Structure 1
């Protein structure tokens, strides 16, 4: 029988978007699917075959929020256990291309919002999201 070390879980490449609006609020979606269904998180998802991290994060933001962004620098990376897999998530700072555009929930997002510090304190977010973003220095003041 193989041990856990000999039979590791598959790693799934994913992205997350750290998007701040002109008021410094963080773009969040309420997840419509597992993992984390019903919890708030940054927009993101799987990197498709042959897709760059930048293309994946721009696509995911568009699909989940209707907003167009330009991918910038990587702000951090986390590994999140999932059912039978490990999600390797690269979080990327993104710039809104139209700062006046309003987000609209789409794809697997149940809702979308821009959240300031007071909002973040009351929202039920995915595990360790706020602590991780705070550690990377990318949360709204």
Structure 2
């Protein structure tokens, strides 16, 4: 059996007063699940903490600086070649002074954007994403 591949994801929420709740998603530019929407994230580099990896991945994929908070949940997904990604998703908020309107696709993302709960449910998301977000009560709409 292959060793698990440690990965992280950033559940970046924009819930400023006067702004509808929105979640930051990226359209995956690489396999697995190329072309689907997912949370920004990726592999944890050797010696890197989960918080540092999450902040780095969100910045690389969206251009947004974030503060990384608590672990929200963990999922496992099959990796190409028989490995298993163990993905730990963390609550994140835009860092003070970060421009949420300047989000743009970078690194291995084909697109990036902010989406309401209803919009997230209508998107072509990566397999299991909406179910996990619902189970973790990130998404609350039925």
Which residue is equivalent to 2:118? 118
Larger Rg: 1
Higher helix share: 2
Residue pairs, 1:1-141, within 5 angstroms? 8-21=1-14, 22=16, 23-83=20-80, 84-97=82-95, 98=97, 100-101=99-100, 102-139=102-139, 141=141
Unmatched tracts of structure 1, length 5 or more: 1-7
Query: Structure 2 length as normaliser, TM-score?
Result: 0.90
Point out 4+ residue stretches in structure 1 off by more than 4 angstroms. Answer: none
Give me the whole-angstrom Cα distance separating, in 1, the residues matched to 2:87 and 2:109: 18
Does the 8 A contact of 1:77 with 1:91 survive in 2? yes
Q: C-alpha displacement at 1:121, in angstroms?
A: 2.5
Deviations 1:79-131 (A, max 9, x none): 11111210000000011013543211000000001110221132100011011
Q: State whether residues 44 and 57 of structure 1, in contact with CA within 8 Å, keep that contact through their aligned partners in structure 2.
A: yes
TM-score by length of 1: 0.90
Structure 2: stretches of 5+ with no match in the other structure: none
Q: What is the aligned length?
A: 134
